Amino acid sequence: MKEREMQPSWLETAAGRLRRNRVLLAAAAASLLAVDLFLGGRGIAAMLAVAFVLAVAVLLPEREGEGKPNATGRNGTEQAGALSAVDLAAVVQDPLYIFDRTGAVLHANEAATLAFGPIAPGGSLQLKFRAPEIHAFIGHVLEGKEAPPAIDYIERVPFERAYRVAAMPIGGEGGLYVLLFRDQSEARRIDRMRTDFIANASHELRTPLASIAGFIETLRGPARNDAKARDNFLQIMQKQTARMARLIDDLLSLSRLEAKPYVRPTERVDLGRLLREVSDSLSHLATETGVAIKLDLPEAPLEVTGNRDELVQVFANLLENACKYGSSGGRVTLQARREKPGAETAVTVTDFGPGIPQEHIPRITERFYRVDVETSRAQKGTGLGLAIVKHILTRHGARLSIRSKVGEGSSFTVYFPPG
């Protein structure tokens, strides 16, 4: 009876294991709360994860030597705590460092090594990151002073990357700390793109609106009884409203494309037939611009997998651009070919106009990017045509290649995957 009473209860055993795993638990809680901070305060997920680690710590069988005093003293406790957190650090997707109260690195996970290069165990974290804001942040944490929960840090070599950095003590009295980097580069790039897009769209709509408002004011005032001026102003206003309508149509088209899931179309489309129809539909534009469209298409069906309406939009955009901006060359060629069965299918639209300077080619598929703003607006361009082309081709698993030489013209080639 006495022997049974001397055996620890399940609750006492669990409590003992919790005490012996306090470093792992503290590391788990701190790291998960840091991630929770970056994710916008979704506390439920972090609490569930901490509860899971808590359960594991209680249920894990004791290792040999657990619960026994460590002969190595405080330093041994720190090393054991660091080793206990290594497994946890390994599964963190973001760069993470575990360091002691002197700023010496005890462990860097793989993500940290890939992002910032290797650092030897015991190396100085403050020598690794020489930025003043990192030094001050780590100093506040080591001194136990109140510090902001996270700071922004920009790494400029080998290329610019933006991080949100959090640091905090772990392991209770073990003297261990964690430094966690959250890469914000892609989020910032998307935010900049969104801001630029809204600014550009607002500008493109504001310009014709300002023009229309000015003409209305003139018609209600000085030109009230001037029939000739009234007809001229109304014609300009009609052109400006048509321009706004085109812009809104392109914005809606781009929005619909981005809203679609990235599931490739499954219908079969005969490119030869489709390209002939597109060429016929733009014959009036070719006549107006003084351009002859030359077709080089196979007689046999040339099928690809795609959405017919979207592909019509792609080649109508490319052929229309060739007629408008390459009109000085007097001709445009439209060629489709497949070298052999099972190979890629290529469709090339070539003009013989002024060409595009090389520095502009990487950017001409960006929204609202124009090589020549005045020429584009004179040709009734919205700056969204090639962005729409790019989105459609991405959905089809196709790619666009652009080649141009100033004074000799430009070629836009669409490559469809085999099948």
Strands (E), 26-67: none
Mean pLDDT, the chain, integer: 77
Checking if the pLDDT of 318 tops 90, the result is yes
163: left (phi over 0), alpha (psi -120 to 50) or beta: beta
The fold of 264-419 is Heat Shock Protein 90 (3.30.565)
Instruction: Print the SS3 string covering 351-382.
Output: ECCCCCCHHHHHHCCCCCCCCCHHHHHHCCCC
Tell me the β-bridge partners of 337: 346
Lowest-pLDDT range, 191-200, 310-319, 384-393, 397-406? 191-200
| Residue among 371, 348, 347, 372 nearest 361 (CA) | 371
State pLDDT tens for residues 174-221: 688 889 999 988 888 777 777 777 777 777 778 788 888 888 888 888
Global pTM exceeds 0.85: no
Give the pLDDT score at 403: 94
**Class for domain 2-182, per CATH?**
alpha beta
Checking if the pLDDT of 233 tops 90, the result is no
Interatomic CA distance for residues 262 and 394, integer angstroms: 8
Give the pLDDT score at 97: 92
| Helices 385-395, 308-325: inter-axial angle, 10-degree rounding | 150
Every domain of the chain and the residues it spans: 2-182, 184-259, 264-419
Give the pLDDT score at 217: 86
State pLDDT tens for residues 89-101: 777 888 999 999 8
Tell me the β-bridge partners of 105: 99
Give the pLDDT score at 215: 84
Interatomic CA distance for residues 165 and 167, integer angstroms: 7
pLDDT (mean) for 34-40? 45
User: Which backbone phi and psi does 183 adopt, to 5 degrees?
Assistant: -70, 120
pLDDT (mean) for 397-416? 93
Confidence of residue 350 (pLDDT cuts 50, 70, 90): very high
User: Which backbone phi and psi does 350 adopt, to 5 degrees?
Assistant: -125, 130
User: Which backbone phi and psi does 167 adopt, to 5 degrees?
Assistant: -140, 145
Measured CA to CA in angstroms, residue 318 lies from 227, 312, 385, 393 at distances of 41, 10, 8, 12
Strand bridging mode 96-100 / 105-108: antiparallel
**In 72-223, alpha helices (H):** 73-91, 110-116, 125-128, 132-143, 185-220
Checking if the pLDDT of 60 tops 70, the result is no
pLDDT (mean) for 330-351? 90
Interatomic CA distance for residues 87 and 52, integer angstroms: 15
Cβ proximity of 43 and 94 under 8 Å:
no
CATH architecture of the domain covering 184-259: Orthogonal Bundle (1.10)
Helix (H) / strand (E) containing 405: strand 399-405
Cβ proximity of 25 and 57 under 8 Å:
yes
Token duo for residue 199: 């600014």
Interatomic CA distance for residues 416 and 310, integer angstroms: 14
The verdict on whether omega for the bond into residue 95 sits within 30 degrees of 0, i.e. cis, is no
Confidence of residue 292 (pLDDT cuts 50, 70, 90): very high
Checking if the pLDDT of 311 tops 70, the result is yes
Q: Residues 237, 240, 243, CA angle at the centre, nearest 5°?
A: 155
